[in-house]
Structure 1
């Protein structure tokens, strides 16, 4: 298998070491498909077989797709919609070739939108002109393409950032910042909304909930930008707001409360509107240093609690987030913040809380200095993660860095850790959030009528879909096996949407038995339906 311009070709995708099923048949969803689907409550073909449980093989494997400044997409060189869309598909194909299962896509980078919004203008990063309609629903397109590849879509919002430059007049005429300049603060080289203003929290909440209600996203995602990172020793210019709303609190405590109110309020609204939509945050990797607070980490670095007023530890303890993805952008052995010590600290923090921990990994740093020149540094991080069962996966910044495969680091990740696909862990809060058919929180009924036959492209595997399923996991074992049997995570070869796949990795003349399970949208998995045995053609 080869890398081509940093991206697996489709031919190479079909030849992954695990023999992954990659050529999907048309997804189900037509009227005929729905009539033929297995209804909820149907009798299982293998009633004695239990559904697979949780295992270390279940992982979130994601990448951030940054749109601000065209970091990952869209590129200024993409002059047409067709080229722009083709570039996005290539990024998603990179994710699938790497056996990733989630993308975190920035859709509100600067109080703007990658979708038609009643509150904010179209983002300048789509067309190059603030407020200009690109002529298509960008988010709708991205979401459809991600789900077609069975990639989770985490909609990434920046709550307070307005602009990376400081001139209000350069913003789109319809920008809320131009309409309400009293909400805006200049800090460093850019413009920010004041988090202490109720109107600002209301705008951010409306922007997020508009997307939650209108689009079939899998999660709402915030990154590490709350109050801005300190610049030049200057304090954030919110003295007037503090005087109005501080109510005798210390300024630092008041600022943290402002962020807490937004996080808690959004958590409640998302769960009320769509209980299956996750809410996750990717903060700076250090909450507090142990030298400052006995509960802190063994580090000597900026502290998000003190410098950005982000009390990540509290959000976890209170259960306001479904997952946390700290950005642990340090190498193993770094004297300021050793990756090994930090990952242990975060794993200990989430223990027993029900909050899922994934680690933000610095793909962009590969080759940056002596500590990052070894192509296996990130692979080493994932090996260390195995010591901590609370770590349930990794997310890479960013997509362009993965595609570039600098010094072969992405290939090392694939060879060492990602040669087989993975199902994300079931969202533990899904049941508490309500669940139900299509809503998440319980396993769908098993599929029925699994059929496997050899053809010129490999083995064609088809089944009757489960009506309350979102996706399916396909398992393959060598030889003729029992029609009803438990599945092993080590035999997983694909997760797909729709009612069938083609397995191009089946070796001619060999006999295989296939099993398929059904997954709800929060990754609760059914027992397998009856297996199907086939001998691949060509032997």
Structure 2
């Protein structure tokens, strides 16, 4: 390339990267176009720059991982790597991994026994540390790993004596309630609540988790003809609460507040998110509720005041399980999602949507689930709701099954490019410093980029590429030019076409996904 051409391209790239990228070191640092660039280059809704994308990998009763008991450590590791590789192929950027399904542990916990879903025997040592392995392998692929904990469920059966003798529930049988064919810790007993928190914090303190995640189980779902027997506990601890329902909601509120405070006290960057049943209350019950007629309302039936958790900002993100089709009369996806958008509006809480991949091609609840485009239609609808920042799919095995080709349709329509994790200024709003010493060199393998970090708080890097022969000088306000994100400080672009000249830019990102100014290189 002629020297004059190189100088012209560098000048143009400098204008692009300093003019179109308005975030500066010491600010939030998100990639933002100038008004002129934004007007001429609107972002493509199908390739957003930032979007949370994940699947739930469920361990209870071996739904996803490990797929069955009795696998060797190497087999378990290979399976888990397979789920992470699925995430990478689909341009997901996080995994929600269940590591405490029934008051047990997928790590050598100081509080609770090894999970039976690892070896088939509660307390059985699997021969390695599954959580340490999971964190390392997820981060190697630049996937966030959110540890998924079920707070109060003790056992999928009712035999307390089936738990190992040293289990805290065996030592404190007065903390246990039998209900609906399962065992639960009684949320109304303060010591039981503290033990639940201690179990979770053991993982938070000792592993590099990116998030703590709860699902929809607090007080258990109602079972016809059965009573959750906590009358004596209410009599002992319920002073000041005129009804059992108000006392129960307070018990769960205390859990949410306390675990949030304990997480932030030791690791402020760890996100705390909850994925509740999607109906807080029906509008007929409460004018603030959603336009639904669902048979379960979390406020009334699960003692989970999910709306308050958002409004009080006790959590960092919420993932309502909107497991219904658009147009489904009792609970319409296209009505519930806007309701949740209204709840998070004006708060710092992120809204992601839980998607029912498990219903595709299997559900008789609605004929819409026989349509391979149902989930894709959900994501299309989400693009009209600015507050929606991503989706999580239940569960990993159903995503992989690709029934009716629904997963393939999602991936080819909405996940053609990588995406950055949405920035969370409530955790940290200061961008890392840019990288330095960026070099681009060509070889038979492609274009190799190498750089050095400047900030100690840089945890990952984003690489953008525009083909200078194509005349694309739009700001990177979507992901059309985003090649990849990674945690190393070198990258080989094997897709570079010989004879083409490219403008690369590399940015640094921190734990809260704040992005630095870009540094350019031409090859």
* Correspondence list, 1:147-162, <5 A: 147-162=139-154
* Correspondence list, 1:10-29, <5 A: none
- Are residue 427 (structure 1) and residue 424 (structure 2) matched? yes
Partner of residue 459, structure 1: 447
Shift of 1:428: 2.5
Change beyond 3 A, Cα 1:481–1:463? farther
Partner of residue 371, structure 1: 368
1:383-403 C-alpha deviation (Å, 9 max, x unpaired): 001111000000011111111
Q: CA contact under 8 A between 2:310 and 2:344: conserved in structure 1?
A: yes
Q: CA contact under 8 A between 2:69 and 2:118: conserved in structure 1?
A: no
Q: 156, 172, 191: which one pairs with 2:183?
A: 191
Change beyond 3 A, Cα 1:479–1:78? farther
Partner of residue 524, structure 1: 514
| Partner Cα distance (2:318, 2:71) in 1 | 37
* Stretch of structure 1 that moved more, 244-253 or 130-139: 244-253
Moved over 6 A (4+): none
Partner of residue 263, structure 2: 270
Q: CA contact under 8 A between 1:131 and 1:174: conserved in structure 2?
A: no
Please list every run of 5 or more consecutive structure 2 residues that lacks an aligned counterpart in the other structure.
1-16, 24-29, 33-42
Shift of 1:480: 6.7
Partner of residue 53, structure 1: 31
The alignment partner of 1:502 has SS state of strand
* Stretch of structure 1 that moved more, 167-176 or 79-88: 167-176
Q: CA contact under 8 A between 1:487 and 1:515: conserved in structure 2?
A: no
Partner of residue 492, structure 2: 502
| Partner Cα distance (1:261, 1:504) in 2 | 52
| Partner Cα distance (1:47, 1:421) in 2 | 23
| Partner Cα distance (2:263, 2:490) in 1 | 33
Partner of residue 69, structure 1: 61
Shift of 1:485: 9.7
Q: TM-score, normalised by structure 2?
A: 0.88
Q: 313, 332, 344: which one pairs with 1:319?
A: 313
Shift of 1:512: 1.6
* Stretch of structure 1 that moved more, 168-177 or 115-124: 168-177
| Partner Cα distance (1:137, 1:77) in 2 | 16
1:207-229 C-alpha deviation (Å, 9 max, x unpaired): 11111111111111110000000
Q: 419, 438, 444: which one pairs with 1:450?
A: 438
* Correspondence list, 1:238-387, <5 A: 238-247=230-239, 248-301=241-294, 302-368=296-362, 369=364, 370-387=367-384
Q: 447, 457, 471: which one pairs with 1:468?
A: 457
Please list every run of 5 or more consecutive structure 1 residues that lacks an aligned counterpart in the other structure.
1-45, 432-440, 535-539
- Are residue 168 (structure 1) and residue 140 (structure 2) matched? no
Q: CA contact under 8 A between 1:481 and 1:533: conserved in structure 2?
A: no
Q: CA contact under 8 A between 2:69 and 2:117: conserved in structure 1?
A: no
The alignment partner of 1:284 has SS state of coil
Q: 479, 483, 490: which one pairs with 1:493?
A: 483
| Partner Cα distance (2:203, 2:414) in 1 | 34
Q: CA contact under 8 A between 2:356 and 2:393: conserved in structure 1?
A: yes
Partner of residue 228, structure 1: 220
Partner of residue 100, structure 1: 92
Q: Compute the RMSD of aligned alpha carbons.
A: 1.8
| Partner Cα distance (1:90, 1:176) in 2 | 34
| Partner Cα distance (1:172, 1:77) in 2 | 18
The alignment partner of 1:453 has SS state of strand
Partner of residue 9, structure 2: none
Q: TM-score, normalised by structure 1?
A: 0.86
The size of the alignment, in residue pairs, is: 478
The alignment partner of 2:194 has SS state of helix
Q: CA contact under 8 A between 1:327 and 1:361: conserved in structure 2?
A: yes
Partner of residue 205, structure 1: 197
- Are residue 146 (structure 1) and residue 135 (structure 2) matched? no
